[in-house]
Amino acid sequence: MALKIGKQWKIISVLVVITAILVLSIRVFRSVEHPPVAFYYWKQTYALSNDQQSLLKNCQSEELFVKFFDVTYDPATGKAQPVSVIQFNEHPGLQVVPCVYIRNDVFKHNQPELAKQLLKLVKSIAGKNKLSVRELQIDCDWSGTTQVAYFELLRALQQFDPTLKVTCTIRLHQIKYQTETGIPPVKKGVLMCYNMDDLDAFNVENSILSTSTLKKYISPSTSYPIELDLALPIYQWGLVFRLGKLSLIANDISESELTSPDYTQVKPHVYKVHKNGYLNDTYVCKGDLIRLETSSPETLTAMAEWLQESELSFNRLILFHISQEHISHYNESSIQKIRHLIP
């Protein structure tokens, strides 16, 4: 009897060791399956600097997500209309994914021809600039009142061109409250982990990103029924408050631009304007308060580590956006570190 028990324990020990090896092997295997890195380009004129081209090359990016135009609602005509249509000053030289940003209020009005018109313009821009289009990404923060109309647009786009892969952006609240907001009828979405807090609120420390805010929407049990990419921010701006209210946004400014005698730091990342003038093409007035916001590699790393705790997995890491000038602290090393944390 003792001999039999001894054999059983040996068998159990062997099984435990084999199981441990398998689990470790799976983890090692998963650890090398990190998503490729792509970037958004979000300016109206397409032209890359040498630094931007180098970043694309060093990150071995094969795709670039380029905003082709916005769609807004024109009350005068009662129709949706494209604005801020992109102009290409050079050929991207890599696979371009057209992106179209549609304001939510467009879907509060009947727009039966929107899908056809949108596709026509996308293909016209692509053809004019000799771009091969395989995927189209729609960016819209839909709501409960616009969900039906927006989802109908996504279906119509796929019906009009079945060869085109239609994807869409998904905000954090649409992940957390997916029963209420609905699951978009596409095969893949892009989780946007930026613009997390109210930028109009002066006391918010950083509206671009926050690990504590992320944890309010993503928990260890969070999952989603369609495939996802992950979009993380690599941009910075200055929010200009005038008489206590957000007046305008000074895009792509750095701390060094606020060190002149025209500005005084009144608290961390907040500066007071002492003289009327231009700040990176933005006119600011004496008495304005500027809250400088940035997406630091350290915070991005912390957010990626938290996403590891969830049930979510991602096929691509898309960084928003490469079309800024101040990208020196987002180098290949810092980006690869974040990429290797993405589940």
The helix (run of H) or strand (run of E) holding residue 241 is strand 236-242
What's the rounded Cα separation, in Å, for the pair 6 and 340? 44
Residue 19 has pLDDT above 90, yes or no: no
Mean pLDDT of 12-17: 50
Q: Is the model more confident about 12 or about 139?
A: 139
What phi and psi, each to the nearest 5 degrees, are found at residue 195? 55, 55
pLDDT (0 to 100) of residue 323: 84
pLDDT at 327: 67
pLDDT digits (tens, 9 = 90+) for 265-284: 999 999 999 999 998 889 99
Q: In this predicted model, which residue has the larger pLDDT, 4 or 199?
A: 199
Residue predicted with more confidence, 333 or 193: 193
Asked if residue 2 has pLDDT above 80, the reply is: no
Q: Residue 26 — very low, low, confident or very high, per pLDDT cuts 50/70/90?
A: very low
16 has a pLDDT exceeding 50? no
Portions of the chain given CATH number 3.20.20.80: 36-235+297-339
Q: Are 209 and 303 in contact (CB under 8 A)?
A: yes
The least confident of 25-29, 67-71, 155-159 is: 25-29
Would you state the pLDDT for residue 97?
Answer: 98
Taking residue 105's Cβ as centre, other Cβ atoms within 10 Å add up to 14
Counting beta carbons within 10 angstroms of the beta carbon of residue 194, is it exposed (0 to 12), middle (13 to 18) or buried (19 or more)? buried
Write the pLDDT tens digit of every residue in 31-84: 457 899 999 999 999 999 998 999 999 999 999 999 999 999 999 999 999 999
What gap in Å lies between CA 338 and CA 152, rounded to an integer? 36
pLDDT(148) > 50 = yes
Over residues 287-338, the pLDDT tens digits come to: 999 999 999 889 999 999 999 999 999 999 999 999 877 666 788 888 999 9
CA 252, CA 233: separation in Å to the nearest integer?
A: 12
Spatial separation of the C-alpha atoms in residues 241 and 199, rounded to whole Å: 10
pLDDT band at 257 (very low <50, low <70, confident <90, very high): confident
- Say if residue 149's pLDDT is above 50: yes
Q: CA of 145: how far to CAs of 24, 73, 150, 298, in Å?
A: 47, 16, 10, 38
Per-residue pLDDT at 12 = 53
pLDDT digits (tens, 9 = 90+) for 93-105: 999 999 999 999 9
Quickly name the fold that domain 36-235+297-339 has: TIM Barrel (3.20.20)
Residue recorded with tokens 């409250």: 177
Tokens of 304: 């990626």
- Cα separations (Å) of 33 from 307, 315, 342, 343? 16, 9, 9, 8
pLDDT of residue 29: 40
SS3 (DSSP) at 30: helix
Sorting pLDDT into bands at 50, 70 and 90, what band is 9? Answer: low
Output the pTM of the full model: 0.88
**Mean per-residue pLDDT for 124-145?**
97
> Which tokens hold the place of 319?
């960084």
Looking at the chain, list the stretches that DSSP marks H as alpha helix, in order from N- to C-terminal side. Answer: 2-31, 50-58, 114-128, 147-160, 172-176, 178-181, 211-217, 297-307, 332-339
Confidence grade of residue 17 (pLDDT, cut at 50, 70, 90): very low
Distance CA 61, CA 38 (A): 5
Alpha-carbon distance of 97 to 261, in angstroms, equals 44
What local confidence, expressed as pLDDT, does residue 104 receive? 97
* Alpha-carbon span 100 to 81, nearest angstrom: 12
Mean pLDDT (whole number) for 169-196: 96
pLDDT of residue 20: 47
pLDDT at 252: 87
